Amino acid sequence: MTRAAIEAAIPHRPPFLLLDEVVEQTDERIVCRRHLSGEEFWFAGHYPDYPLMPGVLLCEACLQAGAVLLARFSAGVAGVPVATRMNDVRFKRMVRPGETMQIEVALDERVSNAFYMSGKVSVDGKLAARLSFACAVTSTE
């Protein structure tokens, strides 16, 4: 899935769109990538002498991947995916400019319009962050 297809699936846009491509997707799992050039706005102020990807943006990348995964549930409905909770967030490795993040999200359970997912971000096969989260597809009308 290309960047244009991602933008067709979710409401996020640059500079806050954190996904470059979808490399794999099933009904219950998605794998995305994001290459960090170092020109992203957050690196200028998040430890300027040793720039790091903020942990909250690692979580946001998972949430956005989850939103792409859930896009099929809101097709034809005026709605947006919103995060309702994050649990068990763990940061294991720093993510730096020039690296490519792989973002994997699995749909663990669905209860009505609530979706329970687990996600992880890795770089070069090494875990950077993992979390469990929930989203709901809410109406914009």
> Angle at the Cα of 67 (from 140 to 127), degrees rounded to 5?
150
Q: Could you give the strand order of the β-sheet that contains 126-139, starting from the edge strand earlier in sequence? A: 21-25, 29-35, 100-111, 114-123, 126-139, 79-91
In single-letter form, the type of residue at position 14 comes to: P
Question: Of 119, 64, 127, which Cα lies nearest the Cα of 94?
Answer: 127
35 is catalytic: no
Among 17, 20, 33, 46, the one annotated catalytic: 46
Catalytic center residues: 46
